[in-house]
Every structure is written in structure tokens, then in C-alpha cells.
Structure 1
Amino acid sequence: MANTTTSMVIPVDSAHRLDEERLLSYLQTHVKGFLPPPASLQVSQFGHGQSNPTYLLKVELHGAVQRYVLRKKPPGHILQSAHAVEREYQVLSALGEGRTKVPVPRVYCLCTDPNVIGTPFYVMEHLDGRLFVNPNLPGMDPKERRAIYGAMARVLAAIHLADVDATGLSRYGRKENYCKRQVERWAAQYHLSTGKGKPDPDPNMLELIQWLRENIPSEDASAGSRTGIVHGDFRLDNLVFHPTEARVIGVLDWELSTLGNQMSDAAYNCLPYVVKNSVSPGKNYGFDEPLADGIPSLPEYLADYCDAAGVPWPANTWNFYTALSLFRYGAICAGVYLRMLQGNASGGKRAEDAGPMALFFAATALGLVKQGPILPRQPPHSVSALMQVPARNTGGEVGSQQVLGFAPSARVQELKRRLLSFMEQHIYPSETELNDLMYSSNDRWTIHPTEEKLKKLAKSEGLWNLWIPADSAALASNLLHDDEGVPRLKDAADRLVGAGLSNLEYAHLCEILGRSMWAPQMFNCNAPDTGNMEVLLRYGNPEQQRQWLKPLLEGDIRSGFAMTEPNVASSDATNIECSIVREGNEYVINGHKWWTSGAMDPRCKLLIVMGKTDPSAAMHKQQSMVLVDINTPGVKIVRPLLVFGFDDAPHGHAEIKFENVRVPVTNLLLGEGRGFEIAQGRLGPGRLHHCMRLLGAAERGMDLMVKRATQRKAFGKTLAQHGSFAHMLAKSRLDIEQTRLLVLNAAHQLDLHGNKVAKGAIAMAKVAAPNTALRVLDNAIQVHGGGGVSSDFPLSHLWAGARTLRLADGPDEVHLGTIAKLELQRVSRL
């Protein structure tokens, strides 16, 4: 399944032997902390890889053992500008030592004196971890596969987010015309590897070079590119993972790193989706067909990367980036093959395979660009609306939710079946009992035993925390795996972190939860807890996650989000007046908030408070978010607020005053002035969750409406037999189906491109969903007559919730303004 870094070593190849005595003397002089004489040195070579020879150094003295890794240029004649170990050392030095979030091994020394071992080299930390050579991750649990790929995507994003100015890498390469320079560089390298006295040039490669030269895309930001650090050879087998966790502890092989168009890095990383093993049997260059369970589809993987990096997927130019990556891989293979013929390549049998693989990559790239956009086939659990087919042919059936292009995958259909069964068996039968508590004058702010029983049952059936996105499932599972120092069985922890779904996949399940006002909290999928947990997953530090996220994931506590204020128009969050002032090691909070949902719940322990830390800063850098224990002195619950007469006990919506509330500075989330940044990361998925649930509310209204209309008679016939009802029913179905498409498309866009690019689709869904739910529920209320506005049916409560959501996530007018602005921008570019 995985190789350890120490299991990958082999005896040193005869062509790569070192003067060990001279090397030992040099290291004892130049590496701080290196064991002194008479320490012994054992040298072995890493067998994986074909580029710069890499060695494991084991140093021993009186029982003490040290391990280092040495990386050097290969001996003999090498191509110009290739194997620049000096640049590797430079970038590792710049990114390491905690300067960035990029996990790299620590470097100790760079030697450019060829008299020591014959070529320049550098020495770095040995990382004791796992290496995954086969991208299919055979023998691994599906959830761990998903977690491994999620970790890889986040690390690539971390590389691309590194500040080149802050790290001293602003002159590490030329930023402009990266793709053009890459085409010419690798064309030149390829020509140096072929020709007279060398392998003959490949006609496919020559044709591919010409195609690339003629199809170089624009490289400005509007084309979906961003300039910064490019790793150049970022792939799974160049990452060292933690021995037991799905976490990258080291990114290796920076030989090809530079500054440039970072989307080329992402395309290169995605080559296994293009180079299928079914095309090259017995090789580990790509994925098997079909993808192993748990490995994300290309759109899923890119959604993870784009979301973490904050960039859109440039669909129109992805074809070029993929072809460029295949071309570059082919050119590299041609160079490796030449070095093998010359006798100075590392990598053994893989170096021998490099010649045929160069031909294979060229033919693959050329074939793909001739047939059109490079869009790989998807596995059954794909989130791609462009490529996914329905789970079954609906034959025109309405209300089936099997929407062409967005149909639930096989695993989501199974979860959907289980969830629907749970609703029928447990949630609907309990609604009356739970409503009675809400309307009780004595016990309304207490927790009903039925709720706790249903939550425990949902956990046992693996229907808990279904909202947790795929890229966060591993972190949540690891957090829950350790229970106050006592490890919980991993399968038990995994049952609490959902299925690792995309937004599109979760949409099909979240809709079902919206059929009952009580359902979301029974599965720990309720607002505002989901949004708050997502904030802690994305932006919380380990201590904040341990203290607050863990009990939230368990469902042991609840939380509130305190942003809206009664004295200002909070639809414009820059109006917020709550102050967060630092005094020594504390922040002092003063402000007046309302509509803090969940704060009335006796289980509510945490408030995430948004306020201003620096009113003089730029408009969107004034706000910060801080964690506040609700029992902190100065936090005063003024009253529960009513929503059309409903107070939603025991959950509630509170008006709160913060009067000289003091919290440690360690309670700050992410950093001062980053409140808007956090809010944007929180708003996309959270807003869509509401839209998904509103569709469920509308469907519940439809079901109750039809049932009522077929059972009640007026003027000698059932209500369903009246023509006015037929028109009402048909229009309601039209509303739901149209809105469902908007919501599913928004979820798909969010998966594919992230919040920024998907904001228009989200805004449209946000306007359409509550208005559709209101129209359908109003029709259902009308059909129920007096019963519809009573508490005997869930319709009035569902209607009140839907009407509130035309305000709660920003008023319709704000979202309509976003849609109009984007439309004006689109037209102006025509």
C-alpha cells in the first residue's frame, strides 16, 4: 500500500558512488549538530525517481544515530540548466522553518565544491514517513484515499499561496510569458536529447511542439491563471506523508521549481486522470479504470484545489495546460532515457522505460488535443454536471429528483434511501411530541429526551455530520479519534464524520433534511453549527479545534454566530459597530447583537463574534472574528426573538449584549482584519445548505398538499378535481424543478470553482429558493384552509422559516445586486 522512506533505499549504484570519507569530513565541519569523529557513515541510495541521485546517510556514534538525506547532480555530461540542486536548496530554505504553510524538509548545507564528491550537493532532514508510488493507492480504505488526495490538493494550494516577496523568492524566476517560455525550454531540452548520435526525434513530439506554440493562452488573471511559485513536478510520489495520518509532512524534488503560471502545476498534478493504466497496463503512471473507491474525480479534486487556492478552474484553457504537462513529461523522459544510454541515470528499470514512455506521452497529448477538450471519464461518484449521467432513465417523470447532469451517484442514492427511511420511521412520527415541547410554557427551553435519542440513533447509523466536505473529513476523523487522550476506534470515529461528500452530493441529502424543521439538528447538520464548524475546520488552530470543534462535531454542545446588529443595517457588514479592542493579552468586546440563532439553547457554549478591531483600516480589513465562551462575564442574553410568533425553542434566536467581555487573544480566528475573509469562506456552503433545505420544505408542502387535495371534498368533489388546484399544483412543480436546477448548479459551481467564481450562481439560488418555497407552501396552506395556518400541520412553521431566509443570509436585494453586477460585467466584455 505504502512505502516508508527508509524502505525505498537500495545499495548505491556503481555510477553514483561517493567518496564517503571526504563527505563525512565535510559534513562534520559544515552541518550543525552532526556527530563528530569517530562517527561512522553508512550511505545507501533511494531507488525511486529518475532525476538527481538521492542518498540516505546514516551516521552512528556510541549508539547515537542520525539520518540525513543528500541530493546531488548526476555525474557526467548533463543538459544545460538541468539538475539545479542549488535552486532546490534555495527554495527549500525560503519556504521552510515555519515561514510558510508549505511542509518541506529542513536543509542544513549546500556544497558547490566539486572536489568533495564530484558534483554540487545539498543535505536536508530525513523525514520518516510514507511514500505512495502508485496513484491508485491499492489496499487502502476509501476514506483514507479521499483524505490523501485532499491533503495533496491543499498542499499544492499552500505552495501557490506562498508570498514570494515575503520569502525572498521574488527573483526566483521570470513571471511573464511562463507558458511560452516553458514550451520553448522543453522543446530545446527535447532537441538536445535527440538527433545525431542520440535517439531519433519523434514525429508526434515535433507536431505537438508546433500545436503548443500556436495555442498558448493568455496568462492574465482573468484567464484563470495566477503567477507565483510553481513546483514543476508536483505529484503524489514526490510527497512524504505522516506515518499514520493523511497529512503531508514534506514536499520533495524541487528541481523544476520556478515562478510562473500556477495552473500548469495543477494540470501536471492531474496527469494520472489522463494517463489511464488501462491504456498502459502494468504501469503506475495513471489511474486504473474505473477509479478506485475513494479517489476523487477530476472535478472533485480540482474543486478541493481551487477552493483552497482561491482560484477558478480555467475550463477553456485546461486543454492546453494538460497538453503542456504531457509534453514536458515526455521531454523529461527523453532526457532520462538519454542519460540511461550514457550510463548516468538513477532509477534503474524506470530509466529504461523512459524512452517508450516519452513516445507514449507525446502520442497521448497529440491524440487528446486533436479530439477536443481533455475531459476524462468519471467514476460513479462524480460531481461533474458536464459528464455525469442520470442514475436511471426517468422517462419524463416529474418530482423524481433524477435531474439530468446532476443525478445522485450510487453511494448518494444509498445514503438518500437510508435518510428517507430514518425520516419516515423516526422524524415525522416525533414532530408532534417535539412541537408540544416547543409550545409548552414550562419546559420550552429544555432538551427533549426524544431529541437526544434520535441523535444517538443517527450516529449509530452513520448519518451524522453528513455536511462535512470531503477535504475536511480526515481532519475531523483524526480529531474525533482521540477522546481526551483515549483513542476511539477509528471506524467509530469515521461514523461521526459523514461520507466526505461534495456540495453537489450533499445537496441531494440536505434537501431531505429540509422536510422537517426538526430534522437537521438530529443529524448535526443544523445552522448555525455547520457554518461555525466549517469556520473552525478551515481557520481554527489545533487548540481551538480541540476545545470547540470536537464537542460540536460530537453534538455535545451548540454554538451561535453573532454578526447582525439592531442599530445598523447589517446587510452591509461594514456597518457593524461591535468593537473588539486588544488590551495586553486580552480582547475586550463591546457590542449589541441580535438574531444570534442557537444562543438560547441550553447546550450553546460558543459564540463566534464578528466586530471591528481596527476602524481605521481598509473597509474590508477592519473586521475580525473571535471565539467567546457564552458564560464569559459580560455576555448578557437580553431575550429570545420571535419569528412570526415562533421562538423556535429550545434553539431560539437571541438578542445579546456584550459589555466589556474579555477573552484571551488566543481566541482570535486566523488574524486581525481577516473577518471578511472568514465570512466569505463560510458563506458559500452555508447559504447553499439553506437553499437545499428550502427545496425539501417545498417538497414537504407538495406532498401534504396533494394528500389533502385527494382526501378532502368541497362542492361534491375532491379538491384535486377542481381545475384551480391542477393549475396550482403544476405551477408549484415547475417552481421546484427550476429552482432545484439553480441550486444544484450552484453546488456544482462551488465544487468546481470555489466561492468567488460561484458567487453569481449562489446568489441566483439564494433568491430563487426561499421565494419558491414560499409560493409552494402558501399554496399548500391554502389547500389546508384553517388547518394550514395552525400548528396542527408543519406548514406555517416551514413558511415562517422560508420567509426569514429572504433576510437571514442577506436580503434578496443584495443578491439581486450581485447578479446584476455580474451581468453588466459580462456584457461589457462582449
Structure 2
Amino acid sequence: MFIVFLSTILVNSNWTLSSSMAKSTSDIVVPVHSAHRLDEGRLLSYLQANVKGFLHPPAFFQLFQFGHGQSNPTYLVQVELHGTVQRYVLRKKPPGHILQSAHAVEREYLILSALGEGKTNVPVPRVYCLCTDSTVIGTPFYVMEHLEGRLFVNPTLPDVDPKERRAIYVAMARVLAAIHSVDVDAIGLGQYGRKENYCKRQIERWAAQYHLSTGEGKLDPDPNMMELIQWLRENIPSEDGYPGSRTGIVHGDFRLDNLIFHPTENRVIGVLDWELSTLGNQMSDAAYNCVPYVINNNQSPAKGFGFDEPLTEGIPTLQEYLAEYCSATGVPWPADTWNFYTALSLFRSAAIYAGVYLRMLQGNASGGQRAEVAGKMALFFAAVALRLVKQGPMLQSLPPHSAPESSGAESSHHKSLGFSPSARVQKLRERLLLFMEKHIYPSEKELSDLMYSSNDRWTIHPTEERLKKLAKSEGLWNLWIPADSAALASNLLSEDEKVSRSKDAADRLVGAGLSNLEYAHLCEILGRSMWAPQMFNCNAPDTGNMEVLLRYGNPEQQRQWLKPLLEGKIRSGFAMTEPNVASSDATNIECSIVREAEEYVINGHKWWTSGAMDPRCQLLIVMGKTNPNAALHKQQSMVLVDIKTPGIKIVRPLLVFGFDDAPHGHAEIKFENVRVPISNLLLGEGRGFEIAQGRLGPGRLHHCMRLVGAAERGMDLMVKRANQRKAFGKTLAQHGSFAQMLAQSRLDIEQTRLLVLNAAHQLDLYGNKVAKGAIAMAKVAAPSTTLRVLDNAIQVHGGAGVSSDFPLSHLWASARTLRLADGPDEVHLGTIAKLELQRVAKL
């Protein structure tokens, strides 16, 4: 709540907004404040009786307090049980007189219980018990899980890489969208609050609280506040049934510093401080979350929680941030009502600050200058809100990426309702399209000629290296790197002990730090040419292997293998499929990985190891069984293997409908007593399936994205050919059969694109596990659609269509292969059917 927020600004404690670095949740504890000491004996007795794990007296029992908050006092409970240190978090009502309905820890416990333990996609800590007996420690309290992670207490994120800043804000917007997407009736929160007339009730509630605070706190009513209350009462937007006022869970205090982020990844692992949560108009939540965009730090009595102009690099604009939220939730762009919701948020904050001022003067917190600043903050927020409602609309009538586009051949088919590229991605898209036209398409013939050459096909064409260097210089390199990994990749590339590399050079090598949905718009373009992905270092299997190393590799593995892969100096292969078993069921894998002392010994037979024929290939990621007697999905592990290790035998290159895809290639490989150090193991023994699932979610979608691009290339070539060739006295385009073929192809592509974009969107919001149904649908639809469209294009081209003079036959062969790669259609159809049966069973 803002009460905690104010105290972090005003108090010189271990958790202050003057600090520029993110704080670990273990680093913000301080000794318990004298006013908040507890009866530790009674507390321990209660915990032993009510919290699992406290059955026996702990070796030690310690209490600390988080920060110096003046809202619900929050404690770190640290105990040693059974030889291990365990941490819990205790949250209680403050002592003394409090305003009615304030500090409702009971409601916090209720909503955390409903949202947690896999019931929803909202990340919250697990709760263990609620105590309403005030005789235990003086007030009601509850105990929850301690989450070890990062807290970003300053929304400007100083000392954070600009790409990481954007990823953090994207993660925040998506978590808010996840909260607002919860079906409250399904989780038993249908009666958590009144849904109707939310804004009206909020105005009256906080107006009443403000009058109580000013009356008891010896603060004269502020004329701005009184005028603001009247304006809000007169300008309440239509709520019931209005599409822009979606009703559901309202967090009430959704801010960056109420989120715990993963220790190393830019994803939220816990949403805290639910004491103001209820049901109501969710756009008010979004507006409150965006309050820093309307606060000028130079004018505020307390610095550190608003933005100055220009925005810190990497922080999205208000329009960009809100567009991310609206896209994730599907709510309309709120230009007409945004000023009201923002003013309501500022008004509520002013009322809360007045309450803080009251409590400080009553002695529930130390007073002095901090009480004076609390009063000034109440005046400041009211003044900002009143100025805002008088200045006119803050938002343009359309989100930034919805403006009409100029005409052009490339502008008509890339937009899909609800998934349009942002302004940033649109600029990248235009640059990528230009690069394709100027460099990739004109180079296809000479690159293909090398592939068909009998002497040089397993060598690297100089044109490829020239285009890769050019793509790097134009900032179109490694576009696939997800937003939550961009900072790690950039830091890794900045570490060079021998050659000084500028930060700018490292940034050019890590792309833009895009979400899966954002990358989908670019990856589609790469699919228009068989040669394009590798020119931008966005080719399979390297992208999947690099993602594995980013997510699961240790620092040494990343330095040895990930760094040169990111730079494009080496290539890699992924060895999982085997010729002697049905590899569509990965539990069939027979390759053995046996530990002997400080080494793993690998024996197995693999094929379709793409990339292993490339002369630059130095790394293989091998999946095999480390423990055949373990649970079915804990038998497999993955190890990193240098391709030059003794015992590796490349049996032959494999052909795909006659294409060997030189110099990249697909290899059949035998591993005969191949020995690697145990340090080459990824993540841990028995974690192979876990890694595979993390790899295959984005990887499968990359294939689907490229397939849509291949279909678009087929459409373009088909239309050009139909307008140029004549048969029976008229162009092919003038024949009715062509028109029907063309229209059906466009329908197929648009439907498939929507499936792919939706899958990417779900993967961003919820992760691979929840998005698996959407990914499976995209995986089935994309190759089937592309095959139909390319087959039509081949038919229009006649004999030329199956020749090497056009890219159609090669694109078709690749698309047909992808009905098998990363799991055959039948596996994905089974996943879709299973999820549908589960859905209906719940009705």
C-alpha cells in the first residue's frame, strides 16, 4: 500500500528508493521496530500447532522486519528445522486505532488462498495459516511462503540495462493482465466484493476516509481535494456492461515494488500486498499502475517514484505500456476514460497519504518531519489530479500501433486484430523487409548453386559471411533472444578478456529483447527464404540450443559455448531423434549416458541431427538416459558434447526429398564410448525432459512463424506468375479457378497466422505449460496450410515450380518435414484432444 511506499521514501532504512539497485528479498530486513515487537513465545507455540514443519522445537527462532513500513507490519520468520534453515513471512495488522476496513489481512489471506497453488496463472506466495485470535500477538495475522527474488523499488530502474528495463515492464503488464483474466466464480471469489458501481463506491469510500483523516489529523480540508471529489462524482464513466470497464479482481495497489521477480530472469514470481483487493472495474487498477507516468519527480515532495522527461532509456511510454496491457487482456483502448481513472487513482492516493499523516500524529509511527512530508504528499497528489482533469485527454484515440499505414505491397497482410506489432517492432519489421529485398532474395541463386555443387557444397559461401556481418552492423542479429534473457546475453557478450568490446557492439549482437509475440512478426519474414534465418543468427537448431544455454547453462558453459554461438562464430546440433525407436515418444530413447568417476560415457545412435554437417559445428547437445530405472520422465538427461570428441562418428548426411541442405545438413551420428566431463551435464541428472519442454515451446513456434512466411512467399510468387503467364487466351489470374485458389490460400494463411500469434501471446503470458494447447494447434495448422499454399503456387508455376529455378520446391520440402519435426501431427492432435476432454469434464 502507499503507506509502505511513503515510509520507504521518508525513512533512512535498508530499503529505500534512493537506492538504485534491485533489492533481494533477503536484503531488506531490519531488526524489529520497538513499536512492532511480538510475544515470540506465544507466536512459536501457535506456529508449532498450525504450520507444517513446526512440529518440533526449532534449533533457533528469529524474527526480522521488512523495511520500515507503516502499513501492515511484515516480518521474516527464520527457523532451523531438521538441520535446515527455513523462512516464512508473517503479515499482521498494525497496533493501535486504525480506520474502518483498513489493513484487512483476512482478505489478503483469502485471495492468496484462492489464487495460489496452481489454481490460476497469477504468481502468488503460498499461504499456510490465518490467525484471527488477537491474544496471540496482539492483532490478526497470517503466515505465507518466503520468496527469494528481486524487488525493484525505483520504477526508473537506474543501473538496469535498457533492454532489461523493457522486459521488466512487459512482465509487469502481463502479470496485471493475468490477474484481470481470472474467472472469479471458478476459484470461489464470486462474492469477494460488489461488482457494480465500483468507481462510485470508491469515490465515496475514500472521500469519507479523507474527511475522517483531516478531521482527526488537524489538517484543514484541501480546496483542490474538495474540487476533485466533486469532479469525480460528476464524471463517473458508464461501468455496468460497458466493454472498457471489465469487472473482476482489482488488486488495488499494483505497483512495481509490490512484485517479486525471479533472482535472474525477468519474470514475476510473486505479487504482494493484496489488502486493498476487491472486485470491480479493472481499468482503475491499470491506471493506478501507471501513476508514475503522471508524477514529475522534480516537483514531488518525495523523490523516487515518478518519471521525468525524457523517459529513462528502455522504459516504455505510457501508450506502449498500456497497449501491452490492453493486448493481453483484450480490453478496448481507454482513451475516452483514461483521465478519469488516473484522477481516481491520484485522489485515492491523496486520501491514503492523509491517513498516513493521521497515524503518524497519533503516535503509531514516529512523527517529526516525516509527518510533514506525508501531509505535503496529500496536497501534491490532489493538485496533480486536478490539473490532469483540466488539461484534456492524456491518450490519443488509438494505440500507437493502430494508426493507418501507408499503402504498399508489404502492408496489407502483416496485421492481425489484437496482435498488431508495436511501433518498435514495426520499425524493425520495415528494416528487415528492406534487408530481405536488397540482400537476401538477390543472393538466393548463388547460395543455392553452392548447395548443388559437387565439390564445394560443404564449405561456407563468402556471401553468407558477408551478409551476416551486414546484419550485425544493422542491428538485425539474434532477434530471437527473448526479453527476459537479453540482459544476460548482452553481459556475456560484453565480457571479452582479450578484445575490448564496446557496450554498443554487444547490444547490436543481442537483438531488441523481444517477446514471443513481438518476434513472431519478424520471424515470419525470415521464413520467406530458406537462407534467411542463418544470416541473422535466427536459425534452428542454434536458436533452441542457445535458449537452452541461456536458461539452463551454468556460467562456464555459457562462456565456452553460448558466447561463440551468439556471435555466430560456431554452430551446433541437437541430437535427440534415433533411427531404431519411435522418437515421437521421447521415453523410447535408447542412447545411454553413464557416469564413470568424473566422466559421462555416451553410447547411442542418433539421426536427423540438423547442423552437425556444418563445418562450423562444434557443439552437440545430446539427450540420453542416465538412469533407466528412474520414473519414466526422470530417466533422461542432456549433456554438452564437443563434436571433435573421440568416439563420435558422422555416418552420413541425410536427404530431405533429395535436398541435403548443404552446408548446414542433417546428420546420422554414432556415439561409441564418447567421454565428456561431468561438468558438461545440463541442469542435473534426470532433468532432460524439463529442458526439452522449455526448449520446444519457443522452438516449435519459431518453426510455425517461419512457415507462415513461407506461405506468404508462395502467395507472392503465385500472384506474380499468374499475372505474367497466359493460357488459352488470357492470363492465369483471369481464370476463375485461380481466383478460387488464391482466395482459399489467403483464408488459410490468415487463420493460421492468428493461431500462431495467439500461441505466442499465451506463451508470453502463461508459459509453456499453459500454452501447450495453443502451441499444439499452431504446430498442426502451420505446416498443413503452408503445404497447401505452396502446392497451389507450384501448380501455377507448372514445371518451373518443381525445379530449382524457384524456391518453391525447397520451401515445400521443408514444410513437409516440419509435420514431423518437434513431434508429428498425431502427437499434437492428441494433446489438443486431451485438453478438450479435460475442459468439457469441468463444465
**TM-score for both structures, normalised by structure 1:** 0.68
- Asked if 2 retains the 8 angstrom alpha-carbon contact of 1:299 and 1:752, the reply is no
Task: Classify the secondary structure of the residue corresponding to 1:806.
Answer: coil
- Asked if 2 retains the 8 angstrom alpha-carbon contact of 1:143 and 1:294, the reply is yes
2:315 counterpart residue number:
295
1:26 counterpart residue number:
none
User: How far did residue 710 of structure 1 move?
Assistant: 1.4
- Inter-partner Cα distance in structure 2 for 1:446 and 1:803: 26
1:366-403: CA deviation from partner (whole Å, max 9, x where unpaired): x9xxxxxxxx9899998xxxxx6365398999943122
AA at the equivalent of 2:8: G
- Inter-partner Cα distance in structure 1 for 2:256 and 2:13: 18
Q: Find 1:494's aligned residue among 507, 511, 517.
A: 507
Q: How does 1:3-18 map to 2 (within 5 A)?
A: none
- Stretches of structure 1 lacking an aligned partner (at least 5 in a row): 1-45, 57-67, 105-129, 157-175, 182-186, 205-222, 306-311, 316-321, 368-375, 383-387
- 1:767 lines up with 2:780 in the alignment: yes
Q: Percent identity?
A: 71
1:273 counterpart residue number:
289
Q: Find 2:64's aligned residue among 53, 68, 86.
A: 86
2:660 counterpart residue number:
647
1:635 counterpart residue number:
648
1:439 counterpart residue number:
452
- Asked if 1 retains the 8 angstrom alpha-carbon contact of 2:265 and 2:485, the reply is no
- Inter-partner Cα distance in structure 2 for 1:714 and 1:269: 63
1:568-601: CA deviation from partner (whole Å, max 9, x where unpaired): 1111112112121222211111111111100110
* Cα separation, partners in 2 of 1:92 and 1:659, compared to 1, 3 Å: farther
2:103 counterpart residue number:
none
- Inter-partner Cα distance in structure 1 for 2:444 and 2:774: 34
* Cα separation, partners in 2 of 1:713 and 1:304, compared to 1, 3 Å: closer
1:753 counterpart residue number:
766
User: How far did residue 237 of structure 1 move?
Assistant: 9.9
Task: Classify the secondary structure of the residue corresponding to 2:823.
Answer: coil
AA at the equivalent of 1:797: H
- Inter-partner Cα distance in structure 1 for 2:442 and 2:743: 29
- Asked if 2 retains the 8 angstrom alpha-carbon contact of 1:330 and 1:359, the reply is yes
- Asked if 1 retains the 8 angstrom alpha-carbon contact of 2:638 and 2:687, the reply is yes
User: How far did residue 275 of structure 1 move?
Assistant: 2.5
- Asked if 2 retains the 8 angstrom alpha-carbon contact of 1:150 and 1:471, the reply is no
- Inter-partner Cα distance in structure 2 for 1:101 and 1:812: 46
Moved more, 617-626 or 335-344: 335-344
- Inter-partner Cα distance in structure 2 for 1:79 and 1:289: 45
AA at the equivalent of 2:374: A
- Asked if 2 retains the 8 angstrom alpha-carbon contact of 1:381 and 1:410, the reply is no
* Cα separation, partners in 2 of 1:328 and 1:380, compared to 1, 3 Å: closer
- 1:135 lines up with 2:155 in the alignment: yes
1:40 counterpart residue number:
none
2:238 counterpart residue number:
none
- Stretches of structure 2 lacking an aligned partner (at least 5 in a row): 16-26, 41-61, 67-73, 90-149, 177-187, 194-204, 230-247, 332-341
AA at the equivalent of 1:71: V
* Cα separation, partners in 2 of 1:277 and 1:326, compared to 1, 3 Å: closer
- Asked if 2 retains the 8 angstrom alpha-carbon contact of 1:135 and 1:272, the reply is no
Moved more, 46-55 or 582-591: 46-55
Q: Find 1:789's aligned residue among 787, 802, 811.
A: 802
- Inter-partner Cα distance in structure 1 for 2:174 and 2:558: 18
- Inter-partner Cα distance in structure 1 for 2:488 and 2:166: 12
Q: Find 1:719's aligned residue among 709, 712, 732.
A: 732
Task: Classify the secondary structure of the residue corresponding to 2:818.
Answer: helix
1:630-668: CA deviation from partner (whole Å, max 9, x where unpaired): 111111111111100101011011111111111111111
- 1:595 lines up with 2:608 in the alignment: yes
- Asked if 2 retains the 8 angstrom alpha-carbon contact of 1:623 and 1:673, the reply is yes
- Inter-partner Cα distance in structure 2 for 1:504 and 1:572: 29
2:357 counterpart residue number:
337
User: How far did residue 752 of structure 1 move?
Assistant: 1.9
- Inter-partner Cα distance in structure 2 for 1:238 and 1:739: 36
Q: Find 1:71's aligned residue among 27, 30, 35.
A: 30
AA at the equivalent of 2:580: N
1:242-298: CA deviation from partner (whole Å, max 9, x where unpaired): 9xxx999xx99x9x9999x9x9xxx99988634354278845545679976622589
User: How far did residue 778 of structure 1 move?
Assistant: 0.5
Task: Classify the secondary structure of the residue corresponding to 1:616.
Answer: coil
User: How far did residue 499 of structure 1 move?
Assistant: 1.1
- Inter-partner Cα distance in structure 1 for 2:655 and 2:736: 38
* Cα separation, partners in 2 of 1:298 and 1:778, compared to 1, 3 Å: farther
Task: Classify the secondary structure of the residue corresponding to 2:609.
Answer: strand
- Inter-partner Cα distance in structure 2 for 1:101 and 1:560: 42
- Inter-partner Cα distance in structure 2 for 1:448 and 1:396: 31
* Cα separation, partners in 2 of 1:235 and 1:663, compared to 1, 3 Å: same
Task: Classify the secondary structure of the residue corresponding to 2:819.
Answer: helix
* Cα separation, partners in 2 of 1:650 and 1:757, compared to 1, 3 Å: same
* Cα separation, partners in 2 of 1:340 and 1:802, compared to 1, 3 Å: same
Q: How does 1:500-649 map to 2 (within 5 A)?
A: 500-649=513-662
Q: How does 1:629-708 map to 2 (within 5 A)?
A: 629-708=642-721
Task: Classify the secondary structure of the residue corresponding to 1:594.
Answer: strand
Task: Classify the secondary structure of the residue corresponding to 2:614.
Answer: coil
User: How far did residue 236 of structure 1 move?
Assistant: 4.5
User: How far did residue 238 of structure 1 move?
Assistant: 10
- Inter-partner Cα distance in structure 2 for 1:481 and 1:153: 29
1:414-460: CA deviation from partner (whole Å, max 9, x where unpaired): 21121111111111111111111111111111111111111111111
Task: Classify the secondary structure of the residue corresponding to 2:655.
Answer: coil
User: How far did residue 775 of structure 1 move?
Assistant: 0.5
AA at the equivalent of 2:705: M
AA at the equivalent of 1:746: A
* Cα separation, partners in 2 of 1:238 and 1:764, compared to 1, 3 Å: closer
Q: How does 1:413-452 map to 2 (within 5 A)?
A: 413-452=426-465
Q: How does 1:370-409 map to 2 (within 5 A)?
A: 389=402, 392=405, 399-409=412-422
User: How far did residue 803 of structure 1 move?
Assistant: 0.2
**TM-score for both structures, normalised by structure 2:** 0.67
- Inter-partner Cα distance in structure 2 for 1:738 and 1:497: 31
1:453 counterpart residue number:
466
- Inter-partner Cα distance in structure 1 for 2:617 and 2:793: 34
* Cα separation, partners in 2 of 1:748 and 1:552, compared to 1, 3 Å: same
* Cα separation, partners in 2 of 1:495 and 1:258, compared to 1, 3 Å: same
* Cα separation, partners in 2 of 1:626 and 1:379, compared to 1, 3 Å: farther
2:242 counterpart residue number:
none
1:49 counterpart residue number:
8
1:731 counterpart residue number:
744
